[in-house]
Amino acid sequence: MAQISMQVISVDKDKVVLQGQRASACTSCASKSSCLTVNPESPNLLNAEFSATQGLELGQNITLNCQDSFLLKAILAALMPALFGLISFALITNQLLFFLEPSLLDIACAGFACLGFVLGLLVSRRLSRGLASELRNKLSLKPTP
């Protein structure tokens, strides 16, 4: 089970903002400068926002737990449709337009591969909507003693 220790830094009636120490793998990551969850002012801290949860107080330490199977499912839903679209559209184009000159075939395959990738991203986005509602059941916030 994946877990991270976080602290409540803001409590409103609509949302709770948590902050925790980023994992050691994040500090050595080459793409941390473009990561959406990295705050440029404090790159070692991870921020998370949740709809208001009963019983959380400002400054309280909590443990955020998530089932590994759900994380794997979310990763597959985000990546597999785009990868499948990219590869399958390129292969299908290559098989259907085999009669074109090699240079034109390469351009056609690249264009249709991009189209497959974009369609895969749209499918991923649609799949992630269903996962967002499932996240409420798979994610647990527990006060740290």
In the chain, what are the domain boundaries?
Answer: 1-66, 68-144
User: Residue 84 pLDDT more than 80?
Assistant: yes
Give me the count of residues in the chain.
145
pLDDT, tens digit, 9 for 90 and up, residues 100-140 = 899 999 999 999 999 999 999 999 988 888 887 777 677 77
- Specify the amino acid at residue 126: R
Name residue 125's amino acid: R
Q: How do beta strands 42-51 and 139-143 pair?
A: unpaired
Model confidence at 94, pLDDT cuts 50, 70, 90, reads very high
For the beta carbon of residue 136, count every other beta carbon within 10 angstroms.
Answer: 10
Q: What pLDDT does residue 118 have?
A: 96
Of residues 86 and 36, which shows the higher confidence score?
86
Long-range contacts of 133-139 (CB under 8 A, 24+ apart): 134/70, 135/70, 138/66, 138/67, 138/70, 139/64, 139/65, 139/66
Show the tokens assigned to 12.
């409103």
Confidence of residue 90 (pLDDT cuts 50, 70, 90): very high
Residue 3: name the closest of 145, 143, 140 by CA. 140
